Structure 1
Amino acid sequence: MTLAKHWKYNENEDIVLSNLKGLFHSNPSVGFIPNEKVIFNKSSNTDEKVTLISGGGAGHEPMHAGFVGDNLLDAAVSGAIFASPSTKQIMAAVKTKSNKDKGTLIIVKNYTGDVLHFGLVAERAKTEGYKVEILPVADDVAVGRTQNEMVGRRGLAGTALIHKILGAASASGSDLEIVYDLGNLINGNLVTLGASLDRTSVPGKALEDIEFTQANEIELGLGIHNEPGHKISPIPNIDELIKDMFEKMLSPSDKERHYVDFDLKNDEYVLLINNIGGTSSLELNAVASHVINNLPLSKKPKRVLISDFVTSLNAPGFSITLLNLTNIHKANNNFSAEKVLSFIDMPTNAPGWKPKSYQGKEWDCEREVTESPMKNVEPVTSDLKVNHDVFKSSLVNALQTLLKKEPEITDYDTRVGDGDCGETLAGGANAILKALDNDKFLKNHLSDPVAVLSRITEIVEDSMGGTSGGIYSIFLTALGKFLQQQKDTSISSISKAFHGALYDGLFKYTKARAGGRTLVDTLQPFVDSLYKSNDLKEAVKAAKKGCDSTKELQAKFGRASYVDDSEFKNSSIPDPGAVGLLALLEGFIDK
């Protein structure tokens, strides 16, 4: 059972109508017919161009109303969630924007209700003197020929490409016959396949009425109206999944689902990666990176389009679409790859078309990742010396002591923080331990404490995120700086370096002080005691006392400061960051 929730709307509220009202209020270029749920482009002059109308059930936003705009759709009509609009609604869209002389192309996804209702309107409009063609989009490869011989393939994210290309072709002055022919050619050279971690949940519908995907499985080839796909368990590695998807999209051996021929070495193509609704932007771009890395076609895509084009409410999935440009040109010399790409590149004010319009020459130039200017920066070194073996042994013991403490730290942070403190500290510790074995610079400079601190700071910055990573990096950087100013590595010199690193280094960048329930409750007593006594063991005792005091403190800094006071009362839970630093200090001097 999923944990999906929806906001509680007013009783009997039409959420689809509310959605369209919100879109209307945020987009000054569109008009709105509330009774018929029609959004139309006020600025498009349909006396001079072919009109493009689309629509269908709601729940696929930004499809369709979000694609109303210049060089895209002239009007869109919305039905209820996952349900086709009525013929009355569709006719309202036709009569609002259609021109009898230039003609109208109606684009629908290939679902029975949409094809019937929009088709009926097309026939009625013809009896009233309108020139109308209807184009059902069918790009899904999950549906085999035998499986749906009568209905055919479903329309998925490839629909957005057809909207964009035909919208620009219409705005460029192409007549109805040319726009319609181009639409059929694109439709015949599109393949799309989707995968999702779960089904979608529908506002107002009881969750118990939906068959959700199990915890360790995904669905491949599911539909955008909660039609089930093929279940795969356990959840595969993302690269394995994408390779499987490409195999199903492109393999000529699957006679049931091989709809479009691709010459893997020579064909030019467009790649579209679609968020089915509930995938975060971070993960969608990560998925896109893996898709590109696993492309089975030799040539790089002419365009890469990544966005939420055709969704299924909040379904946590993605789909991959390929458009074969070479096949289109072979079928009709008037539609070269450059021509089709120019239609994709034409700018639009439609809010749902989020890919930025770049010039073709920008796409054609070679793009390489830039090498970091920090790559060859050598860590800081000094003339200070310590015993190589003792220093390494103490450092290793400190890190291993921290790693042993990690489960306890994680447990504490799960109860009073966000649960990642132990993992963050362990990430840094493991990275340093690995470097001690493999990093040539560290191996060659282990007797130089400044050099070691300089290199460890780099490792901490790379391997530890969040506030603790920043605090450790700043303090270690400052410690290296102040240690470099010392004449020797006596305990007196070290205590001065620690004192300077805290009071003239770290404290310049944070307001955290002892008593605030942070790692500073361990660090500040340690530094103060060391500076006063020049005794490491006494300093660690002071650090432990400060760490233990956090059990009684309310957090004033960090994420724990947002936790309700009641979480701390009688909990006897110390600050996780303070515990982690204490483990490092105790491990270092105990060796």
Structure 2
Amino acid sequence: MPAKYVYMDYEREACGYPAELAARPRTPAAAVAPASNSSNNYYGGGGSSSSSSSSNITGSNDCHGMEGEGLDGKPIPQARRPSEGNSGDEKEKGEDKKGKQPMLSIRQRWAMRAKDDDDERAARAARTMRAILPLVDNPNCEEKLRPRPVGDEAMFEDPELILSRTVDGRIVEVRCGGAKRKMFGRMQIRRRSQGLNPYTGEPSQRSHLERYPTQDEMQLPGQGGSGGGGGGGGSGEGEGAWRPPRITMTPKTAGAEEGEEEEEEEEEYDSERTLVGTESEDEYESDSDEEDEEEAEEVEVDSPLYRLWFTKHFSNDASALVAAALRASTYTNPSLALSPSQKTVILRDDDSSSQHAVALLSGGGSGHEPSFAGFVGRGFLSAAVAGSVFASPSAEQVFRALKVLGAKQPDRGILVVIMNYTGDILHFGMAVEKARAEGIKVEQLVVGDDVGVGRKRGGRIGRRGLAGTVLVQKIAAAAAAQGASLEDVRRIASQVADNTATVGASLAHVHVPGREIVPDELGQDIEIGMGIHNEEGFGRVKTDLSGLVSTMLKQLLDQSDSDRAYINVAPSDKIVVMVNNLGGISVLEQGAITTEVVEQLATTYKLTPTRLLSGTYMTSLNGMGFSITILKVADKSFVSLLDAPADAAGWSPPVRPENWQRGIDTSKSSDIQDAPSSEADDASSAPSNLTIDSQLATSKLTAGLNSLIAAEAQITKYDTLVGDGDCGLCLKTGAEAVLSHIQSSSSSDAIRLVRSIAHVVENSMDGTSGALYAIFMNALASGLQQSTASSGKQEVTPKIWAEGLKAALTSLAKYTPAQPGDRTVVDALAPFVETLASTLSLQSAVDAARKGCESTKGMEASLGRSVYVSVEGWNSCPDPGAYGLVKFLEGLLQ
């Protein structure tokens, strides 16, 4: 059974197809009748061009001679159409002469020779697949391919092309000329997202960026009517000749003059090539010496074509982005200086406090901010060297930084603390050796704290460096600031590193500015152990936050897991916990994650953090994930050194050290007890003299509330057009809460009834509507109280209701500037109150409210979110809040 590859659905989606196209139901193999007694040659050979029973796909009854329709009803672009007067036999011979075969065949597109590197070859293969996808997705074409059941799959085969599908239509393999052509698998996709060669894992040597054609760009020039049999429609190599367009993205260089054009290397295509090889090897053989040439069109990186294919960022120029971010470090901390050419941030020479202490140098690829430039400052790093995004800085950059620090501290020495990544070790190590050769006193420490890489998988390479590196650097820097020698600083740093463990989890892969969109295979899965450079984790789970944190803590603390038990923590041990945001988690969600971590540590492992850090310390660009770091306090000096002050923009200790003397109270015994509710106050207060028929009031209110609840869909529709779409649900939620309240507890005290309804509205209705109605109902209760007789019971009358409502409307005006004519609920509320006060007729008041609501159609909004919508929105519907009030009032009349 062929291996399954995932790149095909991604290419199809990026091409501009509807997202649901990938999931379009396909006819299973058993349901597709094989074509009997007919030719099935994909290229038109071997069959009569005029036979009606022929399955020649270039005939008038197939997808090459007619357009199919996609899910959106638009024509699916044709992948190829034959030239005029070109017979099937001629095409089968592979002739490539002008006027006979003006187009590249599908096999030729697969066999385009790549002269750059394997990454470029894979890009061309993907571009070729882009060209044949419209053909594959054409339902007319599907009937012409001869199915061959293979296990759970339906195979579509011919001498030149095999497309393998699962029964649900997912393309899983493409073969060409009988040989397998491997597309991108999961590993290749991840490597490409990191700017690496997808096959070797080495840095890509591409000098340009590519964008593949959109669906519109795949329309054939001169696309038109179909001919019968093997001919029709084509026009030679001019307008009719088409091959998958190639557009290269060439960023403007600093020295390029306006209008200057760079020359692109010409690409060569052999007229007939056969693809040979296996899944792990790709070679191309040329059967002809005739070659075509293709010119590339240059497009600036800020053009719409560029943005169409690449991830969306405020800046897509990664190099400029790194330079600007480093410059920002000096703006936020004036004690720092920047070397733009070397991308190094260093503490200024005029900072005398650091001249007699061991210097700390760190760095690595950019994209992990605030690590490490954000940690340069007094009491922390002395300098940080940055590489490109996810790429190590060069040895020359590091060496120059060491020379500057060595000149400032010739006697005290320098400690280089880096993360365990091959590029960092090689480049920093080379610089360290060069510095030592020049007499600079320097030591190096490599930190690996990731438990996502176990001992078996890590092998001799060891664990990857993650957010625990920041704790190592902070404690070592504090020791250096207190006067420790280079040897002692390195010993302390090494001890901290040995007692640190980190594990991360992510919802999705990160987006690298200026790089192509890559398919995210995670879906609803969460990847545990994902690295900070999009590296693959050790497992995927579908779980909630509680289950995820439980799994991560087990990886950190389970002593029975010999592969990952790097630190041994007992309940009596003190620990420091860091919950690190990988860059894309909201502060709100970060807080929920932190709470879950602390509470599970207390309940499951009987551990309470001595210090808790929660924030953004080491990111992975916009990574939708977090990491948990646990530092075992093997030496009591760890805590005091961690608490030591540091003047670095990226380091923000949560509280002063003395505040930790209280400790973390996971028992919640110190929580403040809730004060008595206003509802309880109402129940204990003296009854009023104003009475009401409780049965009649319940009946009227029930009818009004049900009318409002039934109108929720229409209110939501209106608010979607002119607001944020939440008005209907907000009113419905409040109405349901009030309805439940009056049906469970009725009162003959009018003021108590109004106050209780106001209390329910306060606690059930969110947003502006909830606040307005709560203020109005509380003011109504106050107005009714003023109308109550000084002694003796008094039944509420329409006049008392009118006076109370008028007083409530006056009070509401103190808290909102809304007046009739502003397109708000007041446009219906004010006419209702005023008409009721003048006529004492509920029917007349409701009619006035309805008229006021209708007047808001076409009215220009001056308050609320409606002010941001277009005039068309105002003209199409009334104000949603006013409409909801009218529906409630109309229900009262029932």
Q: Same fold (TM over 0.5)?
A: yes
Which amino acid is the alignment partner of residue 465 of structure 1?
Answer: D
Equivalent residue, structure 1, for 2:473: 163
Query: Which of structures 1 and 2 has the bigger CA Rg?
Result: 2
Query: Are the aligned partners of 1:111 and 1:154 in contact in 2 as well (CA < 8 Å)?
Result: yes
Indicate whether 1:39 and 2:321 are aligned.
no
Equivalent residue, structure 2, for 1:268: 574
Q: Work out the CA distance in 2 between the residues paired with 1:254 and 1:12.
A: 41
Q: Give the alignment partner of residue 750 of structure 2, picking from 445, 449, 468.
A: 449
Query: Which segment drifts farther, 222-231 or 196-205?
Result: 222-231
- Give the fraction of aligned pairs with identical amino acids, expressed as a percent: 40
Residues 496-519 of structure 1, C-alpha deviations (whole Å, 9 max, x = no match): 11111012x111111112222212
Q: Give the alignment partner of residue 251 of structure 1, picking from 546, 550, 558.
A: 558
Indicate whether 1:459 and 2:767 are aligned.
no
Give 3-state SS (helix, strand or coil) of 2:583's partner. coil
Q: Work out the CA distance in 2 between the residues paired with 1:241 and 1:519.
A: 46
Q: Work out the CA distance in 2 between the residues paired with 1:131 and 1:454.
A: 77
Residue 113 of structure 1: CA displacement? 0.7
Equivalent residue, structure 1, for 2:671: 369
Indicate whether 1:568 and 2:874 are aligned.
yes
Indicate whether 1:350 and 2:648 are aligned.
yes
Q: Work out the CA distance in 1 between the residues paired with 2:515 and 2:355.
A: 43
Q: Work out the CA distance in 1 between the residues paired with 2:733 and 2:522.
A: 31
Q: Give the alignment partner of residue 486 of structure 1, picking from 787, 794, 800.
A: 787
Query: Are the aligned partners of 1:306 and 1:355 in contact in 2 as well (CA < 8 Å)?
Result: no
Query: Which segment drifts farther, 129-138 or 447-456?
Result: 447-456
Indicate whether 1:226 and 2:548 are aligned.
no
Q: Give the alignment partner of residue 111 of structure 1, picking from 398, 409, 421.
A: 421
Query: Are the aligned partners of 2:311 and 2:513 in contact in 1 as well (CA < 8 Å)?
Result: no
Q: Work out the CA distance in 2 between the residues paired with 1:324 and 1:393.
A: 66
Q: Work out the CA distance in 2 between the residues paired with 1:243 and 1:12.
A: 37
Matches within 5 A, 1:174-323: 174-207=484-517, 210-213=518-521, 215-229=523-537, 232=540, 234=542, 236-263=543-570, 265-295=571-601, 296-323=604-631
Tell me: CA distance 1:293–1:450, structure 2 relative to 1, closer, same or farther (3 Å): farther
Tell me: CA distance 1:95–1:427, structure 2 relative to 1, closer, same or farther (3 Å): farther
Residue 134 of structure 1: CA displacement? 1.6
Tell me: CA distance 1:114–1:551, structure 2 relative to 1, closer, same or farther (3 Å): same
Indicate whether 1:81 and 2:384 are aligned.
no
Q: Work out the CA distance in 1 between the residues paired with 2:742 and 2:419.
A: 59
Indicate whether 1:359 and 2:657 are aligned.
yes
Tell me: CA distance 1:13–1:110, structure 2 relative to 1, closer, same or farther (3 Å): closer
Give 3-state SS (helix, strand or coil) of 1:71's partner. coil
Matches within 5 A, 1:505-516: 505-516=811-822
Q: Work out the CA distance in 1 between the residues paired with 2:737 and 2:311.
A: 37
Equivalent residue, structure 2, for 1:470: 771
Query: Are the aligned partners of 2:318 and 2:513 in contact in 1 as well (CA < 8 Å)?
Result: no
Greater per-residue helix proportion: 1
Residue 403 of structure 1: CA displacement? 3.0
Q: Work out the CA distance in 2 between the residues paired with 1:496 and 1:418.
A: 35
Equivalent residue, structure 1, for 2:74: none
Equivalent residue, structure 2, for 1:543: 849
Residue 352 of structure 1: CA displacement? 0.5
Residues 434-477 of structure 1, C-alpha deviations (whole Å, 9 max, x = no match): 55577xxxx3x633232233233333333333222221221112
Query: Are the aligned partners of 2:332 and 2:649 in contact in 1 as well (CA < 8 Å)?
Result: no
Residues 355-380 of structure 1, C-alpha deviations (whole Å, 9 max, x = no match): 33412354435763333445576136
Tell me: CA distance 1:434–1:113, structure 2 relative to 1, closer, same or farther (3 Å): farther
Equivalent residue, structure 1, for 2:325: 19
Q: Note the residue ranges of structure 1 that are not aligned, 5 or more in a row.
A: 329-334
Residues 320-376 of structure 1, C-alpha deviations (whole Å, 9 max, x = no match): 222121xx1xxxxxx21xx22222222222110123341235443576333344557
Query: Which segment drifts farther, 464-473 or 358-367?
Result: 358-367
Which amino acid is the alignment partner of residue 797 of structure 2?
Answer: S
Residue 215 of structure 1: CA displacement? 4.9
Give 3-state SS (helix, strand or coil) of 1:36's partner. coil
Query: Are the aligned partners of 2:318 and 2:514 in contact in 1 as well (CA < 8 Å)?
Result: no
Q: Work out the CA distance in 2 between the residues paired with 1:482 and 1:4.
A: 59
Indicate whether 1:423 and 2:423 are aligned.
no
Equivalent residue, structure 2, for 1:378: 681
Query: Are the aligned partners of 2:392 and 2:424 in contact in 1 as well (CA < 8 Å)?
Result: yes
Tell me: CA distance 1:246–1:393, structure 2 relative to 1, closer, same or farther (3 Å): farther
Tell me: CA distance 1:366–1:269, structure 2 relative to 1, closer, same or farther (3 Å): closer
Tell me: CA distance 1:170–1:400, structure 2 relative to 1, closer, same or farther (3 Å): farther
Tell me: CA distance 1:267–1:102, structure 2 relative to 1, closer, same or farther (3 Å): same
Residue 18 of structure 1: CA displacement? 1.4
Q: Work out the CA distance in 1 between the residues paired with 2:448 and 2:332.
A: 31
Query: Are the aligned partners of 1:213 and 1:219 in contact in 2 as well (CA < 8 Å)?
Result: no
Q: Work out the CA distance in 2 between the residues paired with 1:16 and 1:399.
A: 58
Q: Note the residue ranges of structure 2 that are not aligned, 5 or more in a row.
A: 1-12, 15-309, 789-794
Tell me: CA distance 1:366–1:314, structure 2 relative to 1, closer, same or farther (3 Å): closer
Q: Work out the CA distance in 1 between the residues paired with 2:624 and 2:345.
A: 28
Which amino acid is the alignment partner of residue 882 of structure 2?
Answer: A
Residues 59-106 of structure 1, C-alpha deviations (whole Å, 9 max, x = no match): 011110000111111111100000000011111221222424222111
Residue 214 of structure 1: CA displacement? 5.0
Equivalent residue, structure 1, for 2:400: 92
Equivalent residue, structure 1, for 2:374: 66
Tell me: CA distance 1:456–1:351, structure 2 relative to 1, closer, same or farther (3 Å): farther
Indicate the RMSD between aligned Cα atoms, in angstroms: 2.5
Which amino acid is the alignment partner of residue 507 of structure 1?
Answer: A
Query: Are the aligned partners of 1:156 and 1:310 in contact in 2 as well (CA < 8 Å)?
Result: yes
Residues 417-446 of structure 1, C-alpha deviations (whole Å, 9 max, x = no match): 1122223333333444555577xxxx3x63
Residues 283-318 of structure 1, C-alpha deviations (whole Å, 9 max, x = no match): 222322233233233242111211110011112222
Tell me: CA distance 1:554–1:127, structure 2 relative to 1, closer, same or farther (3 Å): same
Give 3-state SS (helix, strand or coil) of 1:241's partner. helix
Query: Which segment drifts farther, 291-300 or 265-274?
Result: 291-300
Residues 241-295 of structure 1, C-alpha deviations (whole Å, 9 max, x = no match): 22222222222233322222222x3222112111111112222223222332332
Query: Are the aligned partners of 1:529 and 1:542 in contact in 2 as well (CA < 8 Å)?
Result: yes
Give 3-state SS (helix, strand or coil) of 1:133's partner. strand
Residues 462-493 of structure 1, C-alpha deviations (whole Å, 9 max, x = no match): 33332222212211121111112222421110
Give 3-state SS (helix, strand or coil) of 2:837's partner. helix
Which amino acid is the alignment partner of residue 143 of structure 1?
Answer: V
Tell me: CA distance 1:119–1:394, structure 2 relative to 1, closer, same or farther (3 Å): farther
Q: Which has the higher contact order (CA 8 A, sep 6+)?
A: 1
Equivalent residue, structure 2, for 1:331: none
Equivalent residue, structure 2, for 1:531: 837
Tell me: CA distance 1:496–1:420, structure 2 relative to 1, closer, same or farther (3 Å): same
Query: Which segment drifts farther, 367-376 or 516-525?
Result: 367-376
Indicate whether 1:141 and 2:451 are aligned.
yes
Which amino acid is the alignment partner of residue 549 of structure 2?
Answer: I
Tell me: CA distance 1:243–1:37, structure 2 relative to 1, closer, same or farther (3 Å): same
Indicate whether 1:56 and 2:364 are aligned.
yes
Tell me: CA distance 1:255–1:18, structure 2 relative to 1, closer, same or farther (3 Å): same
Query: Which segment drifts farther, 106-115 or 37-46?
Result: 37-46
